[in-house]
Amino acid sequence: MKSKPLTIISGATRGLGYAMAEHLARQGGHLITLNRQPVPELAALAQEHKTELTEVIVDLVDAAALEQAAEQIIKVAARRTQGLELPIDSQCRCGRAH
């Protein structure tokens, strides 16, 4: 039996990341989002369309938190028989470097 496709999206709280997550939540499969806060609307949509949603709450500029998030994602992915389908990084840091 083929497992559901797995997609990882960062920045699914709003904007392009949310739009992509919303579209993929309607398609089914397994969606992992990396956000600074939960997205209740996305969770409801995923439940409605029987999409497995794993929300990883993390600030992507915090190295220690990012390492913990990576461990959480690895645990989720390790339970699967099919690999990662589509990683999407919608986080865009525009402006000058500090």
The domain that contains 67 carries what CATH number?
Answer: 3.40.50.720
pLDDT(14) > 70: yes
Residue 38 confidence (pLDDT): 93
pLDDT at position 43 over 90: yes
Q: Which residues of 65-85 are buried (b: 16+ CB within 10 A; e: fewer)?
A: eeeebeebbeeebeeeeeeeb
> Position of tokens 């920045």?
11
Measured CA to CA in angstroms, residue 1 lies from 9, 37, 61, 71, 84 at distances of 25, 34, 38, 26, 16
Q: Are 71 and 54 in contact (CB under 8 A)?
A: no
Q: Is position 42 within any domain?
A: yes
Domain span at residue 77 reads 6-89
Q: Would 97 be classed as within a structural domain?
A: no
- The predicted-structure confidence for 49-83, as pLDDT tens digits, reads as follows 999 999 999 988 888 998 999 899 888 887 765 65
Residue 42: the pLDDT is: 92
Please report the DSSP string for 37-49 in residue order. Answer: S--HHHHHHHHHT
How far from each other are the two terminal CA atoms of the chain, in whole angstroms? 49
Q: What is the pTM of this model?
A: 0.76
Confidence of residue 97 (pLDDT cuts 50, 70, 90): very low
Examine the pLDDT at 85 and tell me if it is beyond 60: no
Is the confidence at residue 96, as pLDDT, over 50? no
CA distance 89 to 4: 20
Q: How many structural domains compose the chain?
A: 1
